[in-house]
A and B are shown apart, each in its own frame.
Chain A
Amino acid sequence: MPLSVHELRGVTLEVHERGTGATVVYVHGEDGLMFSAPLLHDLATHASIHAPVLPGWSDLRWPAHCTSIDDLAIVLLDYLRALDERVVLVGTSLGGWVVAEALVRDTSLVRGAVLVAPVGVKVRGRTDRDYLDLYAAAPDEVARAQHFRTPVIDRAFLADVEFVELARAQHAVTRYAWNPYFHDPKLRARLSRVRVPVTIVYGDEDRFVFDADSFYGAYAAAFMPAARLVRVRDAAHRVDEERPEVIVDEVHRMLTELSS
Chain B
Amino acid sequence: MSFRSWFFTEMGYPYLPPDGEFDSMRVTLPARVFDPERGADLYELCFDLYRAADAAGLDVMINEHHATATCIDSCAPLSLAILARETKTARLLILGNPVSNRDDPVRIAEEMAMCDVISRGRVEVGFVRGVPQEISPSNVNPVLMKERFWEAVDLIVTAWTSIDGPVSWEGDHFHARQVNVWPRVYQQPHPPLWIPTQSAGTVVEAADRQFNLAVILNGHEGARRMFDTYRARSAERGFAPTAPAQLAYLGLVYVGATEADAREGARQLQWYLQNNKIAPQFLNPPGYSPPEQRAPILAAAARGAPLGTPIAGIIDASVDELVEMGMFFAGTPPQVIEQIASFHERVGGFGNLLMMMHGGHMDFETTTRSIDLYAREVQPALVGLNDIG
**A contacts, CB < 8 Å to B:** 133, 135-139, 142, 155-156, 158, 160, 163-164, 166-168, 170-171, 173-175, 178-179
List of A residues within 8 angstroms of B298 by Cβ: 163, 166-167, 170
List of A residues within 8 angstroms of B353 by Cβ: none
Identify which of B290, B291, B303 gathers the most chain A CB atoms within 10 Å of its CB: B291
A175 touches B287 (CB 8 A): yes
A-contacting residues, B294-325, CB 8 Å: 294-296, 298-299, 301-304, 306
A53 vs B285: C-alpha distance when bound (angstroms)? 23
A135-B136, A136-B28, A136-B281 known; A178+B295 contact, CB < 8 A: no
Cross-chain pairs A/B with CB under 8 angstroms, 9 sampled: A135-B286, A136-B28, A160-B299, A163-B298, A164-B292, A167-B286, A175-B141, A178-B141, A178-B143
A136 vs B299: C-alpha distance when bound (angstroms)? 19
A245 vs B281: C-alpha distance when bound (angstroms)? 33
List of B residues within 8 angstroms of A173 by Cβ: 286
List of B residues within 8 angstroms of A178 by Cβ: 139, 141-143
**B contacts, CB < 8 Å to A:** 23, 27-28, 135-136, 139, 141-144, 279-282, 285-287, 290-292, 294-296, 298-299, 301-304, 306
A138 vs B22: C-alpha distance when bound (angstroms)? 13
A185 vs B34: C-alpha distance when bound (angstroms)? 35
A156-B302, A158-B299, A173-B286 known; A167+B291 contact, CB < 8 A: yes
Which residue in A135, A137, A163, A168 is a CB contact (below 8 Å) of B296?
A163
List of A residues within 8 angstroms of B287 by Cβ: 171, 174-175
List of B residues within 8 angstroms of A170 by Cβ: 286, 291, 294, 298
B286 touches A163 (CB 8 A): no
User: Nearest Cβ in chain B — how far from A72, in angstroms?
Assistant: 15
A187 vs B291: C-alpha distance when bound (angstroms)? 30
Closest to A178 in B: B141
A136 touches B282 (CB 8 A): yes
List of A residues within 8 angstroms of B299 by Cβ: 158, 160, 163
Closest to A138 in B: B281
A175 vs B296: C-alpha distance when bound (angstroms)? 20
A179 touches B141 (CB 8 A): yes
User: Nearest Cβ in chain A — how far from B248, in angstroms?
Assistant: 32
Identify which of B23, B285, B301, B306 gathers the most chain A CB atoms within 10 Å of its CB: B285
Closest to B135 in A: A135
A167 touches B295 (CB 8 A): yes
Q: Please count the residue pairs between chain A and chain B whose beta carbons lie under 8 angstroms apart in the complex.
A: 75
B280 touches A171 (CB 8 A): no
Closest to B143 in A: A175
List of B residues within 8 angstroms of A137 by Cβ: 281
A139-B301, A168-B291 known; A133+B296 contact, CB < 8 A: no
Closest to A155 in B: B302
A166 vs B300: C-alpha distance when bound (angstroms)? 13
A133-B136, A170-B286, A174-B141 known; A139+B295 contact, CB < 8 A: no
Closest to A164 in B: B295
A133 vs B136: C-alpha distance when bound (angstroms)? 9
A80 vs B282: C-alpha distance when bound (angstroms)? 39
A61 vs B105: C-alpha distance when bound (angstroms)? 30
List of A residues within 8 angstroms of B301 by Cβ: 139
User: Nearest Cβ in chain A — how far from B2, in angstroms?
Assistant: 44
List of B residues within 8 angstroms of A155 by Cβ: 302
A138 vs B280: C-alpha distance when bound (angstroms)? 7
Identify which of B23, B143, B282 gathers the most chain A CB atoms within 10 Å of its CB: B143
List of B residues within 8 angstroms of A135 by Cβ: 135-136, 281-282, 285-286
A171 touches B281 (CB 8 A): no
A174 touches B292 (CB 8 A): no
Closest to A154 in B: B302
B136 touches A156 (CB 8 A): no
List of B residues within 8 angstroms of A142 by Cβ: 281
Identify which of B28, B279, B280, B294 gathers the most chain A CB atoms within 10 Å of its CB: B294
List of B residues within 8 angstroms of A164 by Cβ: 291-292, 295
Which residue in B291, B296, B306 is a CB contact (below 8 Å) of A171?
B291
User: Nearest Cβ in chain B — how far from A35, in angstroms?
Assistant: 14
A163 touches B295 (CB 8 A): yes
User: Nearest Cβ in chain B — how far from A170, in angstroms?
Assistant: 4
List of A residues within 8 angstroms of B303 by Cβ: 156
B295 touches A166 (CB 8 A): yes
B139 touches A179 (CB 8 A): yes
B302 touches A158 (CB 8 A): yes
User: Nearest Cβ in chain A — how far from B309, in angstroms?
Assistant: 16
Which residue in A136, A156, A158, A171 is a CB contact (below 8 Å) of B143?
A171
| Minimum-distance CB pairs A-B, first 8 | A167-B291, A170-B286, A178-B141, A163-B295, A167-B295, A163-B299, A168-B291, A174-B286
A136 touches B136 (CB 8 A): yes
List of A residues within 8 angstroms of B143 by Cβ: 171, 174-175, 178
User: Nearest Cβ in chain B — how far from A33, in angstroms?
Assistant: 16
